[in-house]
Each structure stands twice: as C-alpha cells, then as structure tokens.
Amino acid sequence: MVSMSLSDFELEVMQIFWELKEASAPEIHKIIEKKRAVKYSTVKTIIDRLEKKEAVTRSRSEGRIIFYLPVMEKQNVRTPLIKEFINRVFLGKSRPLVAHIIEQEELSIKDIEYLESVLREKKKELK
C-alpha cells in the first residue's frame, strides 16, 4: 500500500474529488469558496500539486477546462494520518481511541452492529 503525505488543503481537495469522482478546478473552487474565501489560482495550484504527486489524473477536457479523477485511494491517506494521530494523542495505543469513540460519539444500533461485525472479523483473523 502506497501512502502519501498531504497538506490540509490538499486533503480537503481530495475529499471533494472522492465525493464527486471527477471534477474540474472551477468546480472544486466553487465548492471551497462556499466555505471560505480562496482564489481560483490557489485551488488550481493545489490540483497541480496533487497531479504531480499522482493523487489525481487528467481524465478529459472540455474546451479549456480540464477534468481530473482521483487516483489515490482514501485508505492510503487515512491510514498514515490515523496512525500519526494515535501515536501523538494516545501514545500509540488504539484501544483508548476506540473506547473514546464508542463512549463519546452518538452511535446508532446500525453503527454498533457494524462495529461488532468488524470486531468479529478481526477476532477470526487472529485465531
């Protein structure tokens, strides 16, 4: 599994790509601009960096507008970020993190059933 370090802004842009599947710089800019003021050129620079890092790839163009697809998998970004978080906040121990989430988050019955199934599968792997 290839992992890659992304800045907060790059991660924000990747989240949009993962949600939309395919997007152009103007589309990404429009979405981000709803949350905060940011120049189009800044968004385009971030997309160019993501392309250099091979996190996105050009898929097609319409006139002068280039569309991009995410190449990098969410999991390849999440795993190192979560590991770093566990190391920094929970001293490398995942059990307190899991307990914290279960105790502090509002979980539905469906959420709990999903977590139970994940734990059952993990238990089978360890046997």
User: 3-class DSSP state for residue 35?
Assistant: helix
Are 101 and 80 part of one and the same domain? Answer: no
> What is the rounded CA–CA span in Å between residue 44 and residue 65?
11
Are 7 and 32 part of one and the same domain? Answer: yes
Q: What is the pLDDT of residue 80?
A: 85
pTM for the model stands at 0.73
> What is the rounded CA–CA span in Å between residue 89 and residue 47?
31
Are 22 and 77 part of one and the same domain? Answer: yes
> What is the rounded CA–CA span in Å between residue 44 and residue 2?
24
Are 40 and 86 part of one and the same domain? Answer: yes
Q: For the domain that residue 11 is a member of, what is the CATH number?
A: 1.10.10.10
Are 111 and 71 part of one and the same domain? Answer: no
Q: What is the pLDDT of residues 48-76, one digit of tens each?
A: 999 999 999 999 999 999 999 999 998 88
- Regions of the chain with pLDDT less than 50: 1
Q: What is the pLDDT of residue 3?
A: 53
Q: What is the pLDDT of residue 1?
A: 41
Kindly tell me the sign of the dihedral angle through the C-alpha atoms of 66, 46, 36, 12.
positive
For residue 118, the enclosing domain spans: 93-127
Are 78 and 107 part of one and the same domain? Answer: no
